[in-house]
Chain A
Amino acid sequence: MTETERHEYDVLVVGAGGAGLRAAIEARERGLRTAIICKSLFGKAHTVMAEGGCAAAMGNVAEKDSWQVHFRDTMRGGKFLNSWRMAELHAKEAPDRVWELEAWGALFDRTPDGRISQRNFGGHTYPRLAHVGDRTGLELLRTLQQRVVALQQADYFQTGDYEARLRVFAECTVTELLTDDDGAIAGAFGYWRESGRFVVFSAPAVVLATGGIGKSFKVTSNSWEYTGDGHALALRAGASLVDMEFVQFHPTGMVWPPSVKGILVTEGVRGDGGVLRNSDGDRFMFGYVPDVFKGQYAQTEDEADRWYDDQDNNRRTPDLLPRDEVARAINTEVKEGRGSPHGGVFLDIASRMPAEEIRRRLPSMYHQFKELADVDITAEPMEVGPTCHYVMGGIDVDPDTGQSGVPGLFAAGECAGGMHGSNRLGGNSLSDLLVFGRRAGLGAADYVAGLGRRPAWRSGDVDAAARMALAPFDAPSAGAPGENPYTLHAELQGVMNDLVGIIRTEAEMSVALERLGELRGRLRDVVVEGHRQYNPGWHLALDLRNMLMVSEAVASSALMRTESRGGHTRDDHPMLDPEWRHRVLVTRCDRDDPGGDPVVPRVTVEPEERVPMREDLLALFDLVELEKYYTAAELTAHPEGGAA
């Protein structure tokens, strides 16, 4: 093999979104030499797209807010499937993480007394989301990016080299993790998009912060980067994934024109007063409050409208139910013939506040509809419908340190699992990135400090990774027609969207798994044209390996879970089943598969028991509420003494 570029670091962070940058900052502040690797340019990660805000119980707007209330909201939103330890750490630490951003230069919108303003969002009891208009993710990412630069400047003053301890490898894609003979992390293999040349990193710790999987679905709010790389890299390295059946469909994506279908319309529109209506003009959400939330939402339009001004004496509008509920409701309205002309429903803010106010509060939504759909949202309603948005499932990690089952492999952000249970609340991702990004950075630093010797990768693995990466340039096997990566991708998106989408059935998912099997076979014959320099066809061919592996994990898990909960709705099993609450579906790479496919290895899914919630946390809920979700036997530990 030709001379390959090599680098050595203490910690490799794969991903430059909120989670990756926060992890890298922490590792570098701990004195470790840290590399950040990302597929796009620095500052372009998916986090820039986040709109509505970052949830943290600072109590700036509602004094009654506290970590306990935030914890309860998060568990309810996730239908009690969440890793309760993650939800606890998240609720407790989010305020400090937000304040820290301010000390690094972030400029959030303010309250009248000069503190960080907070807005309402679905599923949050109090106004809780720190925000900057509707471009909060940009503010968060830019602040972290500028913090990275500040640390580089400090290193420059000391050493004369900006990159002495913290370097960004932008437009560089990791295709394989490298382990030593004992299975511990030893580094990573990747290629530069620009030149197509390979690069090998040696490092005892890797933090995966690669984001989500939405690019496997046709209608999605996600960018091309969301190909589930971290999920697949972790599987192939021996780590496991949890909760992969839970995929969030955001209720409000654009539905028209076709080329922008799926682009997000922030929940902030509803948080600030926008309401959903069907073609009859009805505010249909009042008819969709599920039993588990009865009594917590307004029952009349008058009460709902009063709530915006007086939250102590009124209940919130059901337009702000958790996302899974709203997405299903819209789906039903459209199916029953009360949809808008282009197959969505109406989201109306124009009739609810003056045009000037709309433009001030929601500038990018105004801009987005004006530019892309020729719709003036201050004068007419938007048309919206569900879009694949977020994956709750992800790499199984230790809540406190972010470490996966593989020594030296850590994960944080959207690619990590557990925190959000079966459904994520809006605004809880940005805070998740900060809280667990920092913790993973710390976890990696402690791990490296405690190591006796550095694991060494096996050179055979590097050669194999190089061969795998170049395979798409080979001619297809004799007689096979070369496959076009763009065509395979479009077919995969169709399969996942239509057969493993928002409403699922056993029959459709079985078909989906068959189709995925066919696509896996055809991927071996994928052929790309041109050479290695900035070749998007080649990049897509490599990404497809990961997309197929992760799609199989989603479909297999979804097939196994015979109940409906959060981001997993089964038409053939429409009820919540307490016997499924305490079980977690774990996906692993089937490494013993005889004659296994090295391009897209098979996965296995198995149910395991979840760790029961700590008693003091359980006691934060009323017994009557828990009884809706738990089996009687699980509630004996509750202080109100659940009947055994």
Chain B
Amino acid sequence: MSYTGRFRVWRGHAGGGALADFEVEVNEGEVVLDVIHRLQATQAPDLAVRWNCKAGKCGSCSAEINGQPRLLCMTRMSVFTPDEVVTVTPMRTFPVIRDLVTDVSYNYAKAREIPSFTPPIDLAPGEFRMSQADVQRSQEFRKCIECFLCQDTCHVVRDHEENKAVFAGPRFLMRVAELEMHPLDVSDRVAGVQDQHGLGRCNITKCCTEVCPEGIKITDNALIPMKERVADQRYDPLVWLGRTISRRPR
């Protein structure tokens, strides 16, 4: 079953741009990215869009469809009615480079600010022993495909450029949680998550969780537990002392 679909795609660059209207063939089983590709091949050869895997695995094709942060390759055309206009715009939180492509360097800068995995010094490669139950929590966070849709959604930075300097965003706060919950990471990350990475600014609205294409429970499983750890450390010096000692490498 094919029909002519109506699309509005934002076209422009850092200096400005506008929505452009297109009428384009849509076939059974297609996703929005297929239609964008057809536009490139037939009507707008220089339409800029990022994509790689077209299977929801690389997190390249993030954009906003009818205002919702989504992966273009995982949004099936069948969720729209044939007469519905589908509007595709770039992620709003990041500066536009061209058309649907944005400058996501903020995310890479934040990734660098988080101290790396720190294993016990006396453990050689091959000697690591961890139970499945203990790695499971961090494994959930490592499903992240770095699509940055959660970063795009979070209201702390969405329309607040000024907060970017002090807020790592849900994806990277979750990275701190991942390392904190790693059974063999020995550094204490609780103070840093609050003071350097800006966890305090998150008011657990769960918008990030709602858009995550991997279905990671960012807020419930990463951010709230981190907030609890921060609270414990801040208000209970004995707990704080105990935790610090028990995490030291033997």
Q: Flag the segment in B115-123, B190-198, B234-242 that touches A.
A: B115-123
Which residues A527-545 have CB closer than 8 A to chain B? 528-531, 533-538
A582 in the interface (beta carbon within 8 A): no
User: Contact partner of B131 among A114, A139, A529, CB < 8 A?
Assistant: A114
B180 in the interface (beta carbon within 8 A): no
- CA gap between A44 and B108 in the complex, in Å: 13
User: Contact partner of B129 among A114, A225, A538, CB < 8 A?
Assistant: A114
Q: Flag the segment in B41-49, B202-210, B225-233 that touches A.
A: B41-49
CB-CB nearest in chain A for B41: A486
Whether the pair A537, B46 counts as a contact (CB closer than 8 A) is yes
Task: Please give, as numbers and ranges, the residues of chain A lying within 8 Å of B243 by CB-CB distance.
Answer: none
- CA gap between A373 and B74 in the complex, in Å: 11
Whether the pair A257, B142 counts as a contact (CB closer than 8 A) is no
Whether the pair B40, A486 counts as a contact (CB closer than 8 A) is yes
Which residues B137-184 have CB closer than 8 A to chain A? 138-139, 142-143, 145-146, 179, 182
Task: Please give, as numbers and ranges, the residues of chain A lying within 8 Å of B126 by CB-CB distance.
Answer: 95-96, 99, 102
- CA gap between A223 and B142 in the complex, in Å: 22
Whether the pair A150, B117 counts as a contact (CB closer than 8 A) is yes
Nearest CB on A from B5, distance (A): 14
- Residue from A103, A153, A530 having most chain B Cβ neighbours under 10 A: A103
Nearest CB on B from A242, distance (A): 28
Q: Count how many chain A residues have C-beta atoms less than 8 Å from C-beta atoms of the other chain.
A: 70
Across chains A and B, the number of contacting residue pairs, with CB separation under 8 Å, is 172
User: Contact partner of A41 among B54, B60, B125, B128, CB < 8 A?
Assistant: B60
Task: Please give, as numbers and ranges, the residues of chain A lying within 8 Å of B53 by CB-CB distance.
Answer: 46, 48-49, 223
Whether the pair B60, A150 counts as a contact (CB closer than 8 A) is no
Nearest CB on A from B59, distance (A): 7
**Given A107-B142, A142-B142: A528 in contact with B52 (beta carbons within 8 A):** no
Whether the pair B128, A103 counts as a contact (CB closer than 8 A) is yes
Which residues B49-94 have CB closer than 8 A to chain A? 49-60, 74, 76
Task: Please give, as numbers and ranges, the residues of chain B lying within 8 Å of A364 by CB-CB distance.
Answer: 56-57
CB-CB nearest in chain A for B71: A371
**Given A49-B53, A107-B139, A146-B116: A536 in contact with B45 (beta carbons within 8 A):** yes
- CA gap between A537 and B117 in the complex, in Å: 41
Whether the pair B108, A109 counts as a contact (CB closer than 8 A) is no
Q: Count how many chain B residues have C-beta atoms less than 8 Å from C-beta atoms of the other chain.
A: 59
Whether the pair A533, B13 counts as a contact (CB closer than 8 A) is yes
- Residue from B52, B60, B111, B115 having most chain A Cβ neighbours under 10 A: B52
Task: Please give, as numbers and ranges, the residues of chain A lying within 8 Å of B117 by CB-CB distance.
Answer: 104-105, 146, 150
A110 in the interface (beta carbon within 8 A): yes
B29 in the interface (beta carbon within 8 A): yes
Whether the pair B97, A105 counts as a contact (CB closer than 8 A) is no
- CA gap between A569 and B108 in the complex, in Å: 45
Q: Flag the segment in A74-82, A258-266, A278-286 that touches B.
A: A258-266
- Residue from B56, B58, B116, B179 having most chain A Cβ neighbours under 10 A: B58
A66 in the interface (beta carbon within 8 A): no
CB-CB nearest in chain B for A538: B46
- CA gap between A490 and B37 in the complex, in Å: 12
A162 in the interface (beta carbon within 8 A): yes
Nearest CB on B from A287, distance (A): 32
User: Contact partner of B125 among A103, A153, A256, A485, CB < 8 A?
Assistant: A103
- CA gap between A99 and B124 in the complex, in Å: 9
A residues lining the B interface (CB < 8 Å): 40-44, 46, 48-49, 95-96, 99-100, 102-105, 107, 109-110, 112-115, 117, 132-133, 135, 138-139, 142, 146-147, 149-150, 152-153, 156, 162, 194, 223-225, 256-260, 263-264, 364, 367-368, 371-373, 484-487, 490, 528-531, 533-538
Q: Identify 10 new A-B residue pairs, CB closer than 8 A, beyond the known A223-B54, A256-B29.
A: A48-B58, A49-B55, A95-B126, A103-B123, A109-B135, A194-B97, A224-B52, A260-B29, A536-B47, A536-B48
B residues lining the A interface (CB < 8 Å): 13, 27-31, 34, 40-42, 45-60, 74, 76, 97-99, 101, 104, 108, 111-112, 115-117, 119, 123-126, 128-132, 135, 138-139, 142-143, 145-146, 179, 182, 185
